[in-house]
Structure 1
Amino acid sequence: MSQSLTDFSDLLRSVRESAVHLEMRDGYGVDSERVGFAAWREGHRIDPDDRGSWWRPWLDLVQEVTGKGVVIRRARIVSEPVSDYIAFEHSGTFTNVAAGEQVRWLPRRRASDLALPGNDFWLFDGRLVQFNIFDGLGRWVHTDQTEDAAVAKLCASAFEAVWERGTPHAQYTV
């Protein structure tokens, strides 16, 4: 399924209670991040005090949705030492937190005994799962959605297990 940012925004706005996101890759080839990642590699860091320079439409959406009482949680399973991409993600995650997301990090070695789905996913209100399918270079290919109760249960269980073991963003260092 091909999905536009508008479609995803509408989906997130339709959530009533919770949206959880599990990320399990050590690198993503997201076109919209290429310039920022390259700048980060050259030494640029986001200035937390210059909100105007880093606030973006995604953060507006998160703030809007969490402002309605929806809980948005993101968990990242990462290899250690972390890849450059994960270090880049970590350096900018304070923006997600500022918008209202809760974020935790779990070293991959601590996830070895967890049953995890094969792909990153979003779980909306515990019933709709959206798998994000990436190619070997970390480029987004498409999304698969399902409301199969068994799949939603697996994803909910996996997310909660990762969340329970994860370290809150403010306490995780790379």
Structure 2
Amino acid sequence: MSSIPEFAELLADAGKSAVHLEMRDAYFSNPRFESWQRGQRVDWDDRASWWRPFHQDIADAIARGVQVRRARIVSEPVTDYIRWEHYQTRANVETGEEVRWLPRHRAWDLLLPGSDLWIFDGRLIRVHHFSGDGGWISKELCDDPAVVEQHAAAFEKIWDRATPHDQYEVK
């Protein structure tokens, strides 16, 4: 597929589910992470200061009945980036997204996809490719039913083993 729709468009087209798998211990840096590293914290009572279009897209999908789940596979002890992600996951939870964490040492016997991805309605995968230092490289779509089924099954095994966000403590 030569023209890949933006995430918001793919999510808007989802009718039942959107699942996200993240497997990196660090991604490209960004101003919010850098602010957190300097000790600045989110004022969770000031929603306008942290609510972004992405959060609204997720909240809108959930309001339509789409179940949105995110699983993160992380090395322990966690990197600063993952510590920050854990902190800011409150925003994801506030949208209604379900988030779980799986320590990498508890995933060793699972067959894992090679890249981060989203799966929409169990029929379409959006794959994310990153460089070794966490920089964004590219994205691609896959709608091959056998490949989607394989990745969806892998996500469910990860999900079943992972710890809900409110119970996972970063180490």
Q: Same fold (TM over 0.5)?
A: yes
Unaligned runs of 5+ in 2: none
Equivalent runs, 1:29-44 vs 2, <5 Å: 29=28, 34-44=30-40
What corresponds to 2:18 in structure 1? 19
Is the CA contact (8 Å cut-off) linking 1:45 and 1:91 kept in structure 2? no
Q: Deviations over 1:45-80 (max 9, x none)?
A: 112222121111111111111100000000000000
What corresponds to 1:160 in structure 2? 156
Amino acid at match of 1:100: G
What corresponds to 2:8 in structure 1? 9
Structure 2 CA distance for aligned equivalents of residues 89 and 148 of structure 1: 31
What corresponds to 1:28 in structure 2? 27
Deviation of 1:111 (Å):
0.3
Is the CA contact (8 Å cut-off) linking 1:3 and 1:142 kept in structure 2? no
What corresponds to 1:102 in structure 2? 98
Task: Give the alignment's TM-score, normalised by structure 1.
Answer: 0.93
Match for 2:55 among 28, 50, 59? 59
What corresponds to 2:129 in structure 1? 133
Structure 1 runs of 4+ aligned residues shifted over 4 Å read 1-4
Is the CA contact (8 Å cut-off) linking 2:4 and 2:141 kept in structure 1? no
Aligned positions, number: 169
For the aligned residue pairs, the C-alpha RMSD in angstroms reads 1.3
Deviation of 1:2 (Å):
7.2
Task: Give the alignment's TM-score, normalised by structure 2.
Answer: 0.95
Deviation of 1:3 (Å):
5.1
What corresponds to 2:147 in structure 1? 151
Structure 1 CA distance for aligned equivalents of residues 3 and 31 of structure 2: 24
Unaligned runs of 5+ in 1: none
Deviation of 1:122 (Å):
0.6
